[in-house]
Amino acid sequence: MKQHTALIAGASGLVGGECLRRLLASAAYSTVTIVTRRPLGDVAGHPKVREIVIDFARLDSVKAELRADHVFCALGTTIRKAGSQAKFRQVDFDYPRRLAELTLRNGAKHFSLVSALGASSKSGVFYSRVKGELEDALRAMGWPSLCLLRPSVIAGERRESRPLERLSGMLLRCGPSTYRPVAAGSIAAAMIATARQQAAGVTILESREIPRAAG
């Protein structure tokens, strides 16, 4: 079996944590580089792990280290947590875009992004517009293989409290399949499955399609 190298940003979050766990357990990946603001103590000493602790605003200072075959980006915050729309945009647009630029320049072949349901640069909703603008920016880079996942509410146990997201998930469970919550594990599995397939061009997985892609 040909082994790949992976790089993950957002590993301290719900989807990123699931993705990290699966990458470490997979024989298909020899090395997993984690880009994180704070050390992740629970994987310290793992033979596959290479940890880069850095403020994402300073990614250029470690650009030579941002090398992998497959890049998994699960960075994201909320406007409430970020404190302003400008700070939200920095985390959800500026950081992922720069990570994509640097890793592509270093020879990465596949980029996988956790976007959001309704992402569109033409949206009248700020959150959805930022997500859509990031998708557009990634497309314009000309990645050999790009996967954009658009989950609705993400189901799972977060380290941080997001009561509105939890309430939305409860209300949407009985709704149309397009809006039903998607398990973080399913999103992570779909990210890895599509990375290994490395389909040429752009693959978009809408929320209802993610569980099927996860296998």
Q: Distance between CA atoms of 170 and 187, rounded to whole angstroms?
A: 19
Give the CA diameter of the chain.
47
Q: Distance between CA atoms of 114 and 170, rounded to whole angstroms?
A: 21
Please report the pLDDT score of residue 156 as a whole number.
75
Q: What is the pLDDT of residues 50-92, one digit of tens each?
A: 999 999 999 999 999 999 999 999 999 999 999 999 999 999 9
Please report the pLDDT score of residue 124 as a whole number.
97
Cβ neighbours of residue 151 closer than 8 Å, sequence gap 6 or more:
114, 116, 117, 182, 187, 207, 210
Please report the pLDDT score of residue 133 as a whole number.
98
* Topology classification of domain 4-214: Rossmann fold (3.40.50)
Interval 133-142 mean pLDDT: 98
- Looking at the predicted structure, is the pLDDT value of residue 169 above 70? no
Please report the pLDDT score of residue 41 as a whole number.
84
Sign (positive/negative) of CA torsion 157, 160, 163, 165? negative
- Looking at the predicted structure, is the pLDDT value of residue 175 above 80? no
**Can you give the residue ranges of every domain in the chain?**
4-214
- Looking at the predicted structure, is the pLDDT value of residue 165 above 70? no
Please report the pLDDT score of residue 10 as a whole number.
96
Q: Distance between CA atoms of 25 and 83, rounded to whole angstroms?
A: 36
Q: What is the pLDDT of residues 105-121, one digit of tens each?
A: 999 999 999 999 999 99
- Lowest average pLDDT, out of 38-47, 143-152, 156-165, goes to 156-165
**Percentage of residues in the chain with pLDDT exceeding 70?**
90
Structure tokens at 191: 């990210």
pLDDT confidence bin for 215, thresholds 50/70/90: confident
- pTM value? 0.90
Please report the pLDDT score of residue 155 as a whole number.
92
